[in-house]
Amino acid sequence: MNFKKFIAMGTLITLTVVSNGVPTFATEQATGKEYNESVKQEYIDKQANTITLSLEEAVEYALENSKDIIIQNIELEKAELAYKQGIKDAKNNERIIDDIPTGEIDSVSRELIDTGVPRRSVELTYQVAQWNLKIKENQIKYNVEKSYFDLSQVKKEVEIAEENLNLTQKQYNSGKLKYDVGIISEQELLGLEMGLSKAQTAYDSAKVYYDLQLMNFQNTSGLTFDKEVVLIDSIEYKEYEPINIKESIKQAIENNTMVKIGQESYELSELTFDAIKIKYPDITYKYKEQEAEVAKAAKNLETVKNGVEMGVRAAYLNLLTAEKQIKTLEKNIEQAERMARLAEVSLDLGQGTSIEVLQANLNLMSAKKDLSSQIHAFNMALLDYEYSIGIGKTPISGM
């Protein structure tokens, strides 16, 4: 082939390649544009399905969207109608009894009406419905706050697991280079590889557990399961006001709804007993029956008060214990960090092994996880204490 013919063929090939390449390049441009639009749309969709919540915002959202609150409001409206009718009936009975001569009406009935027992019974039933609404709100707030703390804790565990995975991957990569040049043995490399596999498994498990806890938070807060949630409050150890346990118990007993109901029930049973005494002597069944009711009411009131006090004391002890352990675990992290640094230095000086470094880092990650769990326990103990001195978080039934 002469030189001119070779040049001509080369030019033809070049033109063919360029000619064929133009539509390919244009297609790639179009595909790239479509890809960018797809990524952009995916980002927009994700933003639309993402909700960012502080702890306070999560509680507000749950209260605003709670079906239980709607039901409780309807129950309160029902109780209000019953209350109005009950008070009307009580007033009618009071007027009627005033017009009847003393000897023509049962002495027990007159005494009960005179001491206001029927009216107070009606008022108590209505008051319970009002308290139930507040208690339901309290219950929702507690459950959301607990779920928020739980999700934050699991999120922290995912971060620790990811940190451990990245560090283990780095150690494995370094170990492989050392193995290639004959610095470490195959056994050491296998140990690093096993450590990496364990770190990957721990990270994957932490992510799965986070997804499960996220669903629990979504369900508790009234969010749909397709909503991505971003928590913006960092749940850390926080200072709290000094606690006077005696004052806390006093406050709890004064605030607790079950104590209020128990106290009112006891007083009504005593008033009823006083009315029965007018007509029935102490050797009659009616007398003994009501005497037993008074004793039961007194015992129930004492039991409720003791339960409230025990709840406050238990929450306080848990709070003190959790707080004390946090300080211990913080020191454990400091020690684990020093041990990890020493292991790295020993390895660099040829006096340690990669496995020792891996173990030291595992101990550090474990210490961090223990501290995170203890801070979560502290926050839960503080949450339990705060709710133990309030009205309660279990709605009342049977009234």
| Sites in the chain below the pLDDT cut of 50 | 1-25, 39, 41-45
Q: Helix (H, G, I), strand (E, B), or coil: what is residue 40?
A: helix
Give 12-67 pLDDT, tens digit per residue: 333 333 344 444 445 555 565 555 655 454 444 455 688 999 999 999 999 999 99
Rounded CA-CA distance 287/277 in Å is: 7
Phi first, then psi: give them for residue 53, nearest 5 degrees. -135, 135
Task: For tokens 């697991």, name the residue.
Answer: 161
Rounded CA-CA distance 79/125 in Å is: 8
Nearest to 56 by CA among 153, 134, 144: 144
Q: Which long-range contacts (CB under 8 A, 24 or more apart) does 30-38 make?
A: none
Rounded CA-CA distance 271/266 in Å is: 9
> Which DSSP helix (H) or strand (E) runs through 50?
strand 50-53
DSSP 174-241: HHHHHHHTTSS-HHHHHHHHHHHHHHHHHHHHHHHHHHHHHHHHHHHHT--TT-EEEE-S--------
Query: How confident is the model at residue 31, as a pLDDT?
Result: 61
How far is CA 193 from each of CA 174, 176, 190, 216, 398, rounded to the nearest angstrom?
A: 11, 9, 5, 35, 62
Query: How confident is the model at residue 196, as a pLDDT?
Result: 93
Give 259-280 pLDDT, tens digit per residue: 999 999 999 999 999 999 999 9
Give 280-300 pLDDT, tens digit per residue: 999 999 999 999 999 999 999
Q: Helix (H, G, I), strand (E, B), or coil: what is residue 342?
A: helix
Query: How confident is the model at residue 46, as a pLDDT?
Result: 52
